[in-house]
Structure 1
Amino acid sequence: MSGGGVVGPRVLVAGGHSAGHIEPAMNFADAVRWLEPTAEITAVGTVRGLDTTLIPARGYPLELIPPVPLPRRLTPELLEVPGKLRDSVQAAGAVLDRVRAEVVVGFGGYVALPAYLAARRRGVPIVVHEANARPGVANRLAARMTTQVFTAGPGVELAHGTPLGIPLRPAITGLDRPALRAEARERFGLRTEGPVLLVTGGSQGARTINAAVSSAAALLRANGVQVLHIAGREHTVDVEDAEPPYVVVPYVEEMRYAYAAADFVLCRSGAMTCAELAAVGLPAAYVPLSRRGGEQRLNAEQAITSGGALLVDDADLNTAWIESVLIPLLVDPTRLATMAKQAAAAGVPDAGLALARHVLTTIATRRRLTG
């Protein structure tokens, strides 16, 4: 697409506030840049949330617009939305004009809606990606503005939705767990042999998960189970220093090492987590958050249906469950191997490239039509 003095494709990416929106947006941007190095990619975000932290760190210019949070209930703040939205749409439109965007690719969150509306007013193509099993307000509205709508998987109720998967980092999609296993375990101070349980509550940690697993440390050790416990930066987990290793770390920057070291994962079921574990073929026990109408439970459904995961309610995660359900699984290599295959069967490792190819084709088609 590049060469001969032709200007590279110009893409505006809209998806901010939470890592669940930003990560797939940046992974998509990386895929576009890999396919077309001349692409000019600009991200739009707000000062709220993680936009100003995560997006510049990935090497993309960030244009800020006023935030317009959409209240989920009838509150006085709802009356302020029209005015704030108007200002934000104008700001997003100014960004589109300045960077001469040829397409807006949105990943949801309240930063996406102004970008969608500004693009529609200018006749700029809109491409929507929904990572969650239950779409948010911005993407539900955008799905009425365009037929180019892609979802994390089947069963997502979104107009014009086509199942695609979630864009992931190449470090995850290209991970060879067996090849990296010995190095990864040495990195964390784990034994080369024996089952390893990876415990994580996400970047912020999860108090329920931390408490349940740490309280079962003696039981896990008695059954020869090693633990790599990512507690979260705001949490402290105290476990006796003994054998087999129970390693506690606040955060892991390169998760491919944690995935390579593990045989099984106990974690929340955010959309990105579910997608990554499926991509690398790691079985899991998902402990979904109950907020937002049970969205996390829906995220885990495909992995559970495939046989690659278990589901445990937050209220049921305790020492008794770990002893009766989790430990028998962890010490059964045959069952672990079967679940790993079933987990991998639900993975979509090339979603980022597929979405990037679609967007680049959209731009090329528009250029041909407009001369």
Structure 2
Amino acid sequence: MTAPRVVVAGGHSAGHIEPTMNFADALRRLEPTAEITALGTVRGLDTTLIPARGYPLELIPPVPLPRKLDRVLLQTPGRLRDSVLAAGMVLDRVRAEVVVGFGGYVALPAYLAARKRDLPIVVHEANARPGVANRLAARMTTHVFTAAPGVRLAHATAIGIPLRPAITGLDRPALRDAARQRFGLRPDGPVLMVTGGSQGARTINAAVSAAASALRANGVQVLHITGPQNVVEVPDGDPSDPPYLVVPYVEEMQYAYAAADFVICRSGAMTCAELAAVGLPAAYVPLPLRGGEQRLNAEPVVAAGGALLVDDADLDQAWIEATLIPLLTDPERIAAMSARASAAGAPDADVVLARHVLTAVAERRRSAS
């Protein structure tokens, strides 16, 4: 097979860009000669994250879309037309053979430009509640993939979310001691990892730090990732107490995952997918916005017994002390939840999607010959 020419569209937020780039990496591993071009806009993180992963980036005008198919969408035809034209010029210039979209600002223009050229369209939806671009695209193609079953998209097949090999190939027990040493944690005793995502979460930060004394008293170590803009005050403990470490950000999360036994965090789609892939049980605290979308992301692993779900309004020091600490100090229960979380994971989604895209390219070439 000569080099497949693939255009990927999944820009603006890290939640769109990360699975896009993970898929691209998997495609390169399967077909090293693949020519992959990413579409993006000047808004969001496209110009930062995509070039850092080594892929050429083509910019098109952004078209922010509402999350509903309503009147607001109908008021954007001019901007959408310009963006579709720009996307089409990229597709023509790189002689694209397939467009793979992950939602976000650039996805809909890419889908519409591909449809005009009768190019195969492959859609991946990471969230439990699809955005408008992917809902429209699912009507244009039968190549539709989702993170979990039950997502309301036509023709959808659940495969999980494309993740980095550093995550899917993580051997937590083997890396545990080195990871704990890296952060200055003790080799023995339970470790709670706390994170609210890249920007942190005020509710989580406040609740866990308020329970610092109780956590120490019960032998629980804490690796608290606050987010770079947040400051968390933790009472000083005795030198003999289990450590409570506060860091603003962790670049290589596989080490944090290997050091931890349990996580308390938001339930973004990528977070849920990564923790399930590495078998880390969690207490998910869905962001109380956007109609409870994050709750839907966590429900499959919660139903499998690999996680807890706690509303943002219910998370406080009392919940940590009454519910979480008894769990953290029960190794058998932690082990059982870890096994159930792992069973709910899908570590090969990147390769599954890449193989499907290569098949779509091959089928197009056969039909054109």
How far apart, CA to CA, are the structure 2 residues paired with 1:95 and 1:74? 27
Question: What is the aligned partner in structure 2 of residue 116 from structure 1?
Answer: 111
1:98 to 93, 97, 103: 93
The reply on whether 1:234 has 2:234 as its aligned counterpart is: no
How far apart, CA to CA, are the structure 2 residues paired with 1:79 and 1:10? 32
**CA 1:134–1:199 in 2, change beyond 3 Å: closer, same or farther?**
same
Correspondences of 1:144-293 after superposition (within 5 Å): 144-242=139-237, 243-293=241-291
Q: Give CA-to-partner distance per residue, 1:26-53, whole Å, 9 cap, x none.
A: 0000000000000000000111111111
Q: Assess if the C-alpha contact under 8 Å between 2:17 and 2:49 holds in 1.
A: yes
How far apart, CA to CA, are the structure 2 residues paired with 1:79 and 1:185? 53
Secondary structure, counterpart of 1:300 in structure 2: helix
- Shift, 1:166, TM fit: 0.4
How far apart, CA to CA, are the structure 2 residues paired with 1:67 and 1:365? 32
**CA 1:76–1:281 in 2, change beyond 3 Å: closer, same or farther?**
closer
Matched residues, number: 366
How far apart, CA to CA, are the structure 1 residues paired with 2:165 and 2:285? 26
Matched-pair identity in %: 80
Secondary structure, counterpart of 1:97 in structure 2: helix
How far apart, CA to CA, are the structure 1 residues paired with 2:29 and 2:364? 21
- Shift, 1:240, TM fit: 3.3
Question: What is the aligned partner in structure 2 of residue 63 from structure 1?
Answer: 58
Secondary structure, counterpart of 2:135 in structure 1: helix
How far apart, CA to CA, are the structure 1 residues paired with 2:70 and 2:102? 26
Q: Give CA-to-partner distance per residue, 1:171-200, whole Å, 9 cap, x none.
A: 000000000000000000000000000000
Correspondences of 1:25-104 after superposition (within 5 Å): 25-72=20-67, 80-104=75-99
How far apart, CA to CA, are the structure 1 residues paired with 2:73 and 2:135? 18
In the alignment, residue 85 of structure 2 is paired with which amino acid? Answer: Q
Q: Assess if the C-alpha contact under 8 Å between 2:69 and 2:132 holds in 1.
A: no
Question: What is the aligned partner in structure 1 of residue 346 from structure 2?
Answer: 348
- Shift, 1:310, TM fit: 0.2
In the alignment, residue 343 of structure 1 is paired with which amino acid? Answer: A
- Shift, 1:85, TM fit: 0.2
How far apart, CA to CA, are the structure 2 residues paired with 1:77 and 1:184? 49
1:318 to 316, 319, 324: 316
How far apart, CA to CA, are the structure 1 residues paired with 2:232 and 2:193? 14
How far apart, CA to CA, are the structure 2 residues paired with 1:141 and 1:73? 11
Question: What is the aligned partner in structure 2 of residue 20 from structure 1?
Answer: 15
Secondary structure, counterpart of 2:8 in structure 1: strand
Question: Alpha carbon RMSD of aligned pairs, Å?
Answer: 1.3
Q: Give CA-to-partner distance per residue, 1:251-282, whole Å, 9 cap, x none.
A: 11100000000000000000000000000000
Q: Assess if the C-alpha contact under 8 Å between 2:22 and 2:163 holds in 1.
A: yes
- Shift, 1:71, TM fit: 3.4
Secondary structure, counterpart of 1:278 in structure 2: helix
**CA 1:248–1:362 in 2, change beyond 3 Å: closer, same or farther?**
same
Secondary structure, counterpart of 2:76 in structure 1: helix
How far apart, CA to CA, are the structure 1 residues paired with 2:182 and 2:225? 14
Runs of 4+ in 1 over 4 A off after TM superposition: 72-80
Where structure 2 has 5 or more consecutive residues not aligned to the other structure, the ranges are none
The reply on whether 1:299 has 2:297 as its aligned counterpart is: yes
Q: Assess if the C-alpha contact under 8 Å between 2:306 and 2:340 holds in 1.
A: yes
How far apart, CA to CA, are the structure 1 residues paired with 2:126 and 2:73? 26
Q: Assess if the C-alpha contact under 8 Å between 2:67 and 2:131 holds in 1.
A: no
Question: What is the aligned partner in structure 2 of residue 140 from structure 1?
Answer: 135
**CA 1:77–1:152 in 2, change beyond 3 Å: closer, same or farther?**
closer
User: What TM-score, normalized by structure 1, do the two folds share?
Assistant: 0.97
Where structure 1 has 5 or more consecutive residues not aligned to the other structure, the ranges are none
Q: Assess if the C-alpha contact under 8 Å between 2:195 and 2:265 holds in 1.
A: yes
1:339 to 337, 340, 349: 337
